[in-house]
Amino acid sequence: MALQQSQQQKPSAAEAKTANTSIPNAARNPSNDEPNKKRNATRREVLPAGIVGTEGMNTVEREIPADEPPALKVNSSLAVIGRSTPRLDGRLKVTGKARYTADVRLPGMLFAQVVTSRYPHARIRSIDTSLAERAPGVRAVYVLDRVLGNAELRDKSKELPAKFPIVRFAGQPIAAVAATTQAEADDAARLFKVEYEPLPFVVDEDEARKKDAPLVFPGAADQGGTAGGGGGPQGVTQEGNVRGPVKSGPRGRPAGDINRGFAEAEVTVEGEFRTQVQTHSALETHGVVADWKEDGLTVYASTQGTSSVRDEFAAIFKLKKSQVRVVTEFMGGGFGAKFGAGNVGVIAAQLSKKAGAPVRLMLTRKDEHLSVGNRPSSIQKLRVGAKRDGTLTAIHLFSYGTAGTGTGAGAGGPAQNMYKCPNILTEEADVFTHAGPAAAFRAPGHPQGCFALEQTIDELAEKLGIDPVALRDRIDESPARREERRLGAERIGWSRRRRAGSDTGPVKRGLGVAQSIWYRFVNMDSACEVRVTQDGSVEILSGVQDIGGGIRTVLAQVVAEELGLKASDITVRIGDTAYPAGPASGGSVTTGSITPAARNAAFKVKQQFLEEVASALGTMPEYLKLGGGQVAVFDRNPNWSDGDRQGRSYKAAPIKSLSFRQAASRLKTEQIAARASRSDDYEKSRATYGGVQFAEVAVDTETGVIKVERVVAVHDCGRPMNPLTVESQINGGVLQGISYALYEDRILDRNTGLMVNPNLEQYKIVGSRETPRIEAILIEEYTGRSSTDAGGIGEPATIPTAAAVANAVYNATGVRVREMPMTPARVLAALQSARGKGGVRS
Amino acid sequence: MSKHDEKEKQDAGAFGHVTRRGFLKGAGLTAAGAAIMENGLLGAKDAAAAEAEPVVVGPGRVPVTLRVNGTVQKVQVEPRTTLAEALRFELGLTGTKVVCDRGSCSACTVWLDSTPVCSCMTLAVDVGARKITTIEGLAQSEELHPVQEAFIEYDAMQCGFCTPGMIMSCAALLNHKANPTLDDVKQATSGNLCRCGTYPKVFEATLAAAKATRKGGE
């Protein structure tokens, strides 16, 4: 099951954790249960359900844990949640005072540099560290005895024993040095003498598939279970460098019989699509400051998972988890590649242990490109069969791609899960190459899968003579995407879309559409503590980290809503394993996982607050109401004011009111606090996120330059908690999608195995001048799944962009570009090839 | 940022008496690591003498005086130390970020007088008497610069790592163009890389800040 699931959904590390940790709340934290309460007591609760503004908007009754708060109303009835709220840490970020890992400076801190391999494949004969050790300022050197991230041979005896780890990609870390200054560390790193025995290598996935290709692993290999977020299913058959293919389909298994499906088809469309390797290129590189002390290890880490980093450090250094503390105040981008201790963390901790001082190791930009993750490439052969009315009869995807020395290059998610079709088979193979291992990257497998699937559906629509939006209305069962297609088509003016290649001049314009699919994952390791102090101040604490999505602000909103305060009244302390465990931010799980814990904790502390304040005022807790920073005191239960409950017809008015602060001063002790964990979703059936994007492009057929002029991105994320920051994430998803579609490409030289563009000027990323007008539209969808009913947005927002751009390019030119990045050269080649066939009007 | 007089503008225009290329060219002719000083290190007064007879400094640490955010700071740095490194490691001004370390992302943007420059491509010894403004010095005590205010209001940030450099570029734009167009803002930030993809809100915020500044000035 675990195998099928990871194959099916290509989740990040968070999903694997989720699957293993779906334990009932009461069983996990028995101490949290009040002794007199029955375990797992539940009650019925009616919650909002459906999409606001559509006929489907309704309610749903759920069995929920008895101690969880009452149903949260829809956003329009709330004071703080669902309102656009500027980031609470905005001031720190705009003044340069936000402290990132790269900014941490501890007393006596040393600086480290890594020695990496110049060869893509080699055995290391010897490493002479003596010169480096004697270099000015050097305090410690370290030679790696193990490399994390690469897949590992299942049977170690297949390879000759080696004194040092075999080098399998250029840029693989070999050794490291710590010195008093960065310059001294950089100088000393050049003084290591490494004697290599270079071996044959292959960096091209097409070459690597050939029978006589140099082998990356001399036997079957699996990617170890690190917290790195990469990897695919274990134990897959392997021949040469090719692992798999793994056969799958909807919910992890092939569906129906594709041969029958294609036999039933009246129309068949097929094509081959290629996508490139993309590097994460977070602005803050992977890095830590590791401080090894007798009583434990403290690590400041640029990470998406304080807890997953702690777990890996504890495992590697054989420490108790309680002896490892991981702190991430601010972090400069991750996008899926930053979950574990990794080689970077291990190196820094080893150096710190040796030197007896804190050690800072931030990777160089070059190493960031080479060694800490990337999005695998894909070569996808996709075939879709349909009836004349558009009904799909069969989908068959065969794909291979390279995750370098890692695994997990599948791209089957969209083909498996987007459309209703009785016969679906995906076959996904990994091809090992001598290149840095992949890592989870914003919706693993999905942007590449959509590039193939959504272009093929577009082709099918044209072949059937059905509008692409109308065809999707027929074959897509998602109510969210139906509404999103309607809203998006209206906003972009889909009715203006013309026949493909209609423009007669050299610059041709067109419109395209593509869809997203992602899955609702929940990380059960999500806990919060909320404290109220006698001076009226309120704090929330959680280990969860803010990777830029804005969870810090959303947590404050949730607590403020519950306590009738403003978001800015709440102090948020996060990003530290000293606080209650938070989820790793991968798989778009953060908001959906942690906000219910925050609300549950705020609700608990509120109950205690009201009890103590009521007792001090000589009244009943039910007669108090929080709101607008005030505690209103009634002479009866104000919830009866509608008169419909007890048949009373009066309107309750408060008899007096005191500020939250005044009320807090009546608490019996200095501080009250409550901790709550995530309970499992109220409804456990599978749920997905949608998203539909429309792109408008201009293609210069003389230069081959594609300009994306406008994108309308319509998305759902359950209950939108902070529309302002959700919009930012949608903008980011769209821009990363455009960047992937048109510019980014990790280029490896076949003759040397070296990356030729390991920087930020030749590795091209979308910039301000290429940024189109982006209109983000959010729908509000309720599913009654948790005490906040929040979901995720990070991944769905980037999945369909490249496909939407490609479809718009086709609509503009009448020519399909099936390979990314869609550079001017590829556009011109596609135009040329079509001209040869008489396919382009000019 | 207060107004600069003509003299300072000229100084800003003269930026580049010692370019990195010039430095490297000179350094290549001398013993490894040594730097030829043509200007700057010892301040304007010594510049003329230095031009007449190049002063060789380094490879060890040399004293440098930096005028940062209205203060005068004396630091000891190797001649190869970039301004970004001096700000971050010697002066603890870590708001200035280093991302690419070769002038292709502008995360390290600071102002020398009123000119935005990449501090990773500027040697600390080359700054001379020019006034350095970093992100920490943009706000007037507690009052944020209008661009900073607008960045918060419009959410022109996600992870925030590009934000200081982005703000320094946008604020510099408003210094010389009170009424910028969208295209001006795109141009001003064309060197600033944001991996989270926050550009649309950077544009909105900067145009809003310009509008607010114009209103405030009336």
Average pLDDT over residues A815-835: 96
Is residue B5's pLDDT more than 50?
no
Q: CA-CA distances (angstroms) from residue A108 to A91, A114, A555, A642?
A: 30, 20, 35, 66
User: Between β-strands A242-248 and A287-293, what pairing exists: parallel, antiparallel or unpaired?
Assistant: unpaired
Domain spanning B6-137 has what CATH number?
A: 3.10.20.30
pLDDT value of residue A40? 78
The DSSP output letter for A437 is P
B positions 152-191 inside 8 Å of A (CB): 152-153, 155, 157-164, 167, 185-187, 189-191
Where residue B14 falls among pLDDT bands split at 50, 70, 90?
very low
pLDDT digits (tens, 9 = 90+) for A760-797: 999 999 999 999 999 999 999 999 999 999 999 999 99
pLDDT digits (tens, 9 = 90+) for A22-40: 333 333 344 444 444 456 7
Structural domain boundaries of chain B? 6-137, 146-213
CA angle A176, A181, A182 (to 5 degrees): 55
Instruction: State chain A's mean pLDDT as an integer.
Output: 93
Per-residue burial over A454-481, b = 16 or more CB atoms within 10 Å of its CB, e = otherwise: bbbbbbbbbebebbbbebbebbbebbbb
Of A369, A171, A227, A376, nearest in space to A285 by CA: A369
User: Between β-strands B71-77 and A781-782, what pairing exists: parallel, antiparallel or unpaired?
Assistant: unpaired
All CATH 3.30.365.10 domain ranges of chain A, comma separated, are 2-40+521-677, 478-520+686-836
A positions 347-386 inside 8 Å of B (CB): 364-365
Is residue A668's pLDDT more than 80?
yes
Contact A731 B104 (CB under 8 A): no
Q: A814: Cβ–Cβ under 8 A, 6 or more apart, which residues?
A: A500, A501, A834, A839, A840, A841
CA atoms within 13 A on the CB side of A394: 21
Residue A691, Cβ density class (10 Å: 0-12 exposed, 13-18 middle, ≥19 buried): buried
pLDDT digits (tens, 9 = 90+) for A268-320: 999 999 999 999 999 999 999 999 999 999 999 999 999 999 999 999 999 99
pLDDT digits (tens, 9 = 90+) for A396-430: 999 999 999 999 999 999 999 999 999 999 999 99
Select from A86, A332, A365 the Cβ nearest to the Cβ of B153.
A86
Looking at 3.20.20.70, 2.60.40.10, 3.30.470.20, 3.30.365.10, the CATH number of the domain A478-520+686-836 comes to 3.30.365.10
Domain spanning B146-213 has what CATH number?
A: 1.10.150.120
pLDDT digits (tens, 9 = 90+) for B49-81: 555 677 788 889 999 999 999 999 999 999 999
pLDDT digits (tens, 9 = 90+) for A494-535: 999 999 999 999 999 999 999 999 999 999 999 999 999 999
pLDDT digits (tens, 9 = 90+) for A231-275: 678 889 999 999 999 999 998 999 999 999 999 999 999 999 999
Where residue B140 falls among pLDDT bands split at 50, 70, 90?
confident
Whether A87 and chain B come into contact, CB under 8 Å, resolves to: yes
Is residue A85's pLDDT more than 60?
yes
Contacts of A95 in chain B (CB under 8 A): 95, 135-136, 138-139, 144, 148
Average pLDDT over residues A691-698: 98
pLDDT value of residue A838? 65
pLDDT value of residue A5? 34
Q: Taken in order A219, A223, A226, A228, is the CA torsion positive or negative? A: positive
pLDDT digits (tens, 9 = 90+) for A358-379: 999 999 999 999 999 999 999 9
CA angle A438, A442, A445 (to 5 degrees): 65
Average pLDDT over residues B154-169: 98
Whether domain A2-40+521-677 has CATH 3.30.365.10: yes
User: Between β-strands A238-239 and A221-223, what pairing exists: parallel, antiparallel or unpaired?
Assistant: unpaired
Peptide linkage before A35 cis (omega within 30 of 0): no
Where residue A841 falls among pLDDT bands split at 50, 70, 90?
low
pLDDT digits (tens, 9 = 90+) for A321-357: 999 999 999 999 999 999 999 999 999 999 999 999 9
Q: Taken in order A789, A792, A403, A458, is the CA torsion positive or negative? A: positive
pLDDT digits (tens, 9 = 90+) for A195-229: 999 999 999 999 999 999 999 999 999 987 555 45
Contacts of A182 in chain B (CB under 8 A): 85, 89
Q: Is the ipTM reported for this complex over the cut 0.90?
A: yes
Q: Which of A665-674, A823-832, B135-144 has the lowest mean pLDDT?
A: B135-144
Å between A724 CA and nearest CA of chain B:
7
pLDDT digits (tens, 9 = 90+) for A581-614: 999 999 999 999 999 999 999 999 999 999 999 9
CA atoms within 13 A on the CB side of A116: 23
Cα–Cα distance measured from residue A16 to residue A472, given in angstroms and rounded to the nearest whole number: 32
